[in-house]
Structure 1
Amino acid sequence: MRDQNNEYISALKLEDFKILLKEFDIEMDEETQRMVLSIIKNNQFALVHDQYQFIIENYIKKLTSEFTCQKVVVLLNNYFKPLLKV
Structure 2
Amino acid sequence: MSVDIETVKRVARLARIAVDEEEATRMTGELNAILGFVEQLGEVDVTDVEPMTSVIPISMKKRQDEVTDGGKAADIVANAPASEENFFVVPKVVE
**Structure index of larger Rg:** 2
TM-score (norm 2): 0.34
TM-score, with normalisation over the residues of structure 1? 0.37
Structure with bigger strand share is 2
Quick check: which one's helix share is greater? 1
